[in-house]
A and B are shown apart, each in its own frame.
Chain A
Amino acid sequence: MQENTVLIDFVNQWAEDEFWVGHLLTKKIYEYGPDLEENIAIGSISQDEIGHCRMLLNLHTTGEKQIDHLIYGKPPEQIKVSRLAEYWYEYDWARLVMKQLIYDICDGVRLSFGGEIPDSGLQDVLRLMKREEAVHLEHWMEWALLISEDSQGQSLLQKAAGQIYPLISDFFADPLIERVSAEYGLNSVSAKLLLKQCLDELNPRLIQLGLSIPCPEQEMIGNLSVQGGRYGLHSSGFMPLYNEFTLVYRQNPDMVWG
């Protein structure tokens, strides 16, 4: 990959999102799904997400220790994971499905944006990510449709959407979008444009599920000016999770798996 610090920052941040989503899915694989097959599916999806993190970091690192440091060795204030990716759910199937559905749609918009960046190594990785993410999105949408078949399920999804939907603004409230756009001459791309693309993709799906749209578009656009995850300002769930998955590395940074 090009030795471009803006692009490296963008890739690192993307990798952090993927890692946090994958890590959260791995926490209680055996409890989340309503049946064994679904637990297997969650295991596969979490592996894919962590694999995407690794592929992205591989673009500019030279070994396992460097990757470990970027994921486990950063102090919390340097982590720019989105509040959507770090969103935590105790055992709650509808919330998990809604979080994954919304995250995958946001990530799909980011994949399209990333597809405009003229870097051949990045494009190779994004091609692999895209074909796997398409299966994930289909999977979560199928589950959302199944849950929405009765009024109780719809109510659970509506409640989950009410909590998670506003986090989309935080996902795109990202100064790196503008910096990458300027760096590569993609001047027509802005955080506001990507947010609108995301809502254009997501809102019809929520309506298909029989849900109402939790926040009007103008409010979502207005919230792009609020500093959050991309500025290192995280939710209350951040530190417990950070402390959990960095514990081994903090105790022994030289440890090697296997």
Chain B
Amino acid sequence: MDAEKQAVREALKSVEDPELPVSIVDLGIVENIDCGPEHIQVVLTPTFSGCPALEHIRKLVIGVLEEQFPGKRAEVGWSFTSSWTSQKISSDGETALKTYGIALAADGVVHCPYCGSKHIVRDSPFGSSLCKEIYYCKHCKNPFEKMKHLA
């Protein structure tokens, strides 16, 4: 990756997903970055097709890039050619989510983010946002959310 693309990627680490405590880079939705003399084009993959935050994220990205790369026009496109999965979340992202009480289970096994127990049940496939589902820990008696993983 050339230096400018890397710089753009670093800048995008300051853009947090509005519904999760992780950056859009750690969430794994940055699909492509293209830099030209006068523009920066970023292609993002939505986590779910109906995500209500798409327009908000687009504005955040444009704001950050046009501030950090003055003189360049930032463009954001949404791609539906590849499917986002929770396996695209980085290890930093996984740690941040766990600290926040959101499990990931990228390895297929769900652990309670509070006590680490595997003695859990899924309460609902729908959580407080489209990308999460609700679980309950029978060990520590806490409900918690897990990032949804659709194959």
Q: A residues within 8 Å of B by Cβ? A: 22, 37-38, 40-41, 43-52, 54-55, 58, 124-125, 127-129, 131-132, 134-135, 138-139, 257-258
Contact = CB atoms under 8 A, between A and B. Distances in A.
Contacts of B134: 37
Contact of A131 (B46, B56, B80, B151): B151
With a 10 A CB-CB cut-off, give which of B80, B83, B123, B126 has the most chain A CB atoms: B126
B130 interface: yes
Given A48-B50, A128-B49, A55 B80 contact: yes
Given A49-B50, A51-B48, A40 B126 contact: yes
14 contacts: A37-B124, A37-B126, A40-B126, A41-B126, A44-B126, A44-B129, A44-B130, A47-B52, A47-B130, A48-B49, A127-B83, A131-B150, A132-B49, A132-B150
A124 B81 contact: yes
Interface of B is mostly: loop
A129 B48 CA distance: 9
Query: Which A-B residue pairs are the 7 nearest by beta carbons?
Result: A51-B50, A51-B49, A47-B50, A41-B126, A44-B126, A131-B150, A48-B50
Interface residues of B, number: 23
A89 to B, nearest CB: 20
A184 B55 CA distance: 35
Contact of A125 (B56, B59, B80, B151): B80
Given A128-B49, A131-B83, A258 B55 contact: yes
A39 B49 CA distance: 19
Given A51-B48, A131-B83, A132-B150, A138 B124 contact: no
A44 B59 CA distance: 23
Interface string B33-76: 00000000000001011111001100100000000000000000
Nearest to A130: B150
Contact of B125 (A41, A129, A257): A41
Contacts of A128: 49, 80, 83
Nearest to A138: B125
A1 to B, nearest CB: 11
Nearest to B148: A135
Interface in B136-151: 150-151
A139 B123 CA distance: 12
Contact of B130 (A38, A48, A55, A127): A48
Nearest to A38: B124
Contacts of A127: 83
Nearest to A64: B55
Contacts of B56: 258
B126 A139 contact: yes
Contacts of B125: 41, 135, 138-139
A45 B126 contact: yes
Contacts of A50: 50
A40 B49 contact: no
B124 A41 contact: yes
B53 to A, nearest CB: 11
B127 interface: yes
A20 to B, nearest CB: 15
